[in-house]
Structure 1
Amino acid sequence: MSVSARLGIGFMKALSHVPLPAIRGLGYVLGRILHTAAVPRRRVVDRNLELCFPGKSLAERKRISRDTFIYVAQSWLDRAWLWHAPREVVERRTTVMGAQVDIDEVLAGTTPLILFAPHFYGLDAAATGLTMRSPRESTTIYTTQRDPMLDEWVCKGRERFGNVKTLNRVDGIKPIVAALRKGGLLYLLPDMDFGRDQSIFVPFFGVQAATMPSLSRFARLGRAKVIPVITRVVKQGYEIEILPEWKDFPSDDAVADTALMNQRLERLIEAMPSQYYWVHRRFKTRPEGEPPVY
């Protein structure tokens, strides 16, 4: 067991008792430090913003870059109370909304449902806030952490409330499809670059991006509806907004579906660009013959 992991988990458990304004204040300071000190990662963020928002001024992109590091730090520290604070604290700090949807049907219905959850910084808050309010069997896919102790902590945190199953990417699609067909929820985050073998190339803000076609594939195989979920970091905690179902999804064309997914994701990002996961090297895998962008 890693000593650093043990100390880190102990710190997060202790932090769960601290008032939210103090946690957010600590996150603000830590985020500003990271923006200054984590030069390689800042360059990734700045390059992503340059590629995706060429029409924005340099000053505006720098502001988004600074803010995104603050949200990185705040959302990470918030996992302290999401995964360790009493249930009533988590309920009070996570608000579920959806003006154009039947929230009760989403959380307690029996129709197979995929929640398209893009990588906004509140993604773990949304997963916790929704599963703690839902009796459905919920499934999510995750990437194993290098440290076994840290991996166990993350899994326990994400499985803390509700009937939740975390599956590793190597577990295959059968348990995912089976859970969907039984009327379950799949909390899916397909908007990252997981390499050439798992991806197809479709535009993302006008740049060819390696993108997993899993949303289209799981919706078709699981006979599931697709509903987007976006989460905002707000002063009181998190706002989890359930958006209307995509009526025209999936089609018989996974490439077209995946391109449409990215196109709709762009509009969600444009509404709050600082809260998207720009620290990820979204364009690290390039089409054959194209030079690296980082």
Structure 2
Amino acid sequence: MNRTKLIIDYAAYVAVRTVVCIIQAAPLTTCQAWSRRLGWLFWHVLKLRRATVEENLRTAFPEKSPAEHEAIALAMWEHLLLMVCEIAHAPRKINRTNWRTHLSMPQMPLMVRRLLDRRPVVIISGHLGNFEMGGYLLGLHGFPTHTIARTLDNGYLDRWINEFREATGQYILPKHGSSQQIEELLKSGGTLVLLGDQHAGEAACWVDFFGRPASTHKAVALFTLSGNAPTATGCVFRKGKPMHFEMRVAELVDPADADFQLGSIPLLTQWYTRRLEDLIRVAPGQYWWLHRRWREQKNNGRQRRDRRRGKDQLRSAA
């Protein structure tokens, strides 16, 4: 690595740390007010990724008016900025003695039983709610998790962010070259947390998401099936004011159950994608509409056949 890049990376790291220090010094009510103002600026003035957001909202909610789409977009920007503030405040605000003030878990008995079991668990979430707080809060309760993430180009920022994640037991596996580690994790009965709403390119499993085909990683379902792991879909919603969350489970399935009918990658992928869609509909303003979830599928005969086969399996299981 050349000296110039090191200097630029370190300067960026110092700048980010300075912004975080300012955020930590401000009350959460102030953070929320500024998040709302900056969100308005990003949408109306800077128009950051506005075309993508508008297209995504028209796809997901064709029945809603342009004014309703705009309200969701403004709520999304406020949410994203406030999410950063909550992450900055979390280590100082939430601990093992006061977590009940900040978190509700309606399905706590169900999840605790699964997490205490010796079998592996796969938790599938998406870019919904404050997903960074999910692993942090589970770790705070004594349930370490592993998740897959791309290593940042800026090594200083990468180490610092991972220190936050690992503070309570959320460990990061590299996006590439971690298959052996994941296999060992599942064999040892560990917990794997994954984001299930990322575009996976053409050689992927194409399933319906809000009624439109979306490229989805096959590996997410493969981990469940190969590891025979109970799998839950869920998220961490913000409820009301900042730093107040609800950890919600949409549904849990177990490949070991006699009535398990999701024994293929297309079936399982469509199942968790639908559950994520259900969660997004609960709080659309807390979803990342700015990323390109839907992209045009190339005219590939093999992929069309795979998609038809997956639809046939879904109809048979229905």
> Which TM-score applies when normalising by structure 2?
0.81
After TM superposition, list the pairs within 5 Å mapping 1:55-74 onto structure 2: 55-74=63-82
Question: Equivalent residue of 1:208, what SS?
Answer: strand
Question: Equivalent residue of 1:166, what SS?
Answer: strand
How has the CA–CA distance of structure 1 residues 159 and 112 changed in structure 2, closer, same or farther, with 3 Å as cutoff? same
Q: Percent identity?
A: 24
Q: CA deviation at 1:40?
A: 4.3
Q: Provide the rounded CA distance (Å) in 2 between the counterparts of 1:190 and 1:129.
A: 20
Q: Provide the rounded CA distance (Å) in 2 between the counterparts of 1:134 and 1:107.
A: 10
Structure number with larger C-alpha Rg? 2
How has the CA–CA distance of structure 1 residues 24 and 59 changed in structure 2, closer, same or farther, with 3 Å as cutoff? same
Question: Equivalent residue of 2:153, what SS?
Answer: coil
**Alpha carbons 1:193, 1:211 under 8 Å: kept:** yes
Corresponding position of 2:283: 272
Of 273-282 and 82-91, the range deviating more from structure 2:
82-91
Q: 1:196 aligns with which of 181, 198, 202?
A: 202
Q: CA deviation at 1:228?
A: 1.8
Corresponding position of 1:178: 184
Q: One-letter code of the match for 1:121?
A: G
CA displacement 1:74-94 (0-9 Å, x = unmatched): 112222113565636983664
Instruction: Give me the CA root mean square deviation.
Output: 2.4
Q: CA deviation at 1:246?
A: 2.2
Corresponding position of 2:246: 239
Q: One-letter code of the match for 2:207?
A: V
**Alpha carbons 1:107, 1:130 under 8 Å: kept:** no
Q: CA deviation at 1:268?
A: 1.4
Q: CA deviation at 1:123?
A: 0.1
How has the CA–CA distance of structure 1 residues 125 and 282 changed in structure 2, closer, same or farther, with 3 Å as cutoff? same
CA displacement 1:83-112 (0-9 Å, x = unmatched): 565636983664140247434324433221
After TM superposition, list the pairs within 5 Å mapping 1:1-294 onto structure 2: 1-83=9-91, 87=95, 91=99, 94-99=102-107, 101-135=109-143, 137-162=144-169, 164-197=170-203, 199-234=204-239, 235-237=241-243, 238-247=245-254, 251-284=262-295, 286-289=296-299
Q: One-letter code of the match for 1:231?
A: V
Q: Provide the rounded CA distance (Å) in 1 between the counterparts of 2:43 and 2:166.
A: 31
Q: CA deviation at 1:143?
A: 1.6
Q: Provide the rounded CA distance (Å) in 1 between the counterparts of 2:248 and 2:194.
A: 15
Unaligned runs of 5+ in 1: none
Q: Provide the rounded CA distance (Å) in 1 between the counterparts of 2:231 and 2:69.
A: 32
Q: One-letter code of the match for 2:253?
A: W
How has the CA–CA distance of structure 1 residues 243 and 267 changed in structure 2, closer, same or farther, with 3 Å as cutoff? closer
Q: Provide the rounded CA distance (Å) in 2 between the counterparts of 1:89 and 1:28.
A: 31
Q: Provide the rounded CA distance (Å) in 2 between the counterparts of 1:15 and 1:213.
A: 39
Q: Provide the rounded CA distance (Å) in 2 between the counterparts of 1:37 and 1:76.
A: 21
How has the CA–CA distance of structure 1 residues 29 and 40 changed in structure 2, closer, same or farther, with 3 Å as cutoff? closer
Unaligned runs of 5+ in 2: 1-8, 301-318
Q: Provide the rounded CA distance (Å) in 1 between the counterparts of 2:151 and 2:215.
A: 21
How has the CA–CA distance of structure 1 residues 38 and 195 changed in structure 2, closer, same or farther, with 3 Å as cutoff? farther
**Alpha carbons 1:120, 1:231 under 8 Å: kept:** yes
Q: Provide the rounded CA distance (Å) in 1 between the counterparts of 2:159 and 2:92.
A: 14
**Alpha carbons 2:121, 2:190 under 8 Å: kept:** yes
How has the CA–CA distance of structure 1 residues 170 and 38 changed in structure 2, closer, same or farther, with 3 Å as cutoff? farther
Question: Equivalent residue of 1:102, what SS?
Answer: helix
CA displacement 1:126-146 (0-9 Å, x = unmatched): 1211111124x4210112223
Q: Provide the rounded CA distance (Å) in 1 between the counterparts of 2:96 and 2:26.
A: 15
> Which TM-score applies when normalising by structure 1?
0.88
How has the CA–CA distance of structure 1 residues 172 and 269 changed in structure 2, closer, same or farther, with 3 Å as cutoff? same
CA displacement 1:229-275 (0-9 Å, x = unmatched): 21112315122223442256673321122122222222111111111
